Structure 1
Amino acid sequence: MLLSKAWALFEAYKRIEGFSSQTLKAYQLQSLLLIGYFKDVEMDLLDTNQLKEHLAISGKHLKPARLAHRIRFMKLFFRWSHEEGYLSKNPTSKIKEPKVERLNTFVNPLIPQWKWRFLKLCFLKGVKLEKQSPQIEYVLK
């Protein structure tokens, strides 16, 4: 099956599953990049090494998070194609995502990490801290 035909079926399947339009747009961009690199070839002709080469070339100028997104799309797309019977073997099964350092954007830089964790844990556990309690006075110092 051609990449473009598989993409059309994949998109329809994910739309039926209820994926958001933003997710489908992101997937469409990734599919266009994949089809642009390999042209509209038969999916059976692609192997793991070709996909790794594509990721190495396209990933030179990508941040790790962007490369991880591209890999996640490829793994999802090819795994779906394999499960639906369009591919006899999944060429992305041995491709691993890069480790991406995630930043916690809600951490206040003025509060030490251990204090932040304590307050977060109290919030998650539903513990109400009184302003006059010794625990909160110690934490807020």
Structure 2
Amino acid sequence: MRAGHALGGDDACIADARNHATAFLDRARADHRLPVSARAGDLTRLVVSELVTNARKYAPGPVRVELGITAERVDVVVWDSDPTVPAARAADPARIGQHGLEIVKAVTEALFIEQEAAGKRITARIALSDAGEGRGPA
């Protein structure tokens, strides 16, 4: 099951993206009987929120969110127009903000960043079951 959602990049787009993710996971549970754990749902919304926030903050123009789900995982794909590859910053407990990519890397099984002709595509992979907790990025 896959679904895409275009976002305009305004203030409401982050909440819109989270709501889209919730509806997608609800359809996966109801229509396809996929075992989406509460943890997987929470992490999917968190990852969507962090990646869309970064796209809105650092890239001009529209943002696209694509969600894909299998029996084992959820893939969150966020495309934006800035080709710059983001990098997680070194841990700094005194730093306020700018922890989004660190958070995403900590809660996902894998994180892929691909530069494209126009922009970049970031894919974060989240385990559906609670057994995937704490694995970190591949």
Report which of the two structures shows the higher radius of gyration computed on alpha carbons: 1
Report the TM-score when normalising by structure 1.
0.37
Specify which structure has the higher proportion of strand: 2
Specify which structure has the higher proportion of helix: 1
Larger relative contact order (CA 8 Å, sep ≥ 6): 2
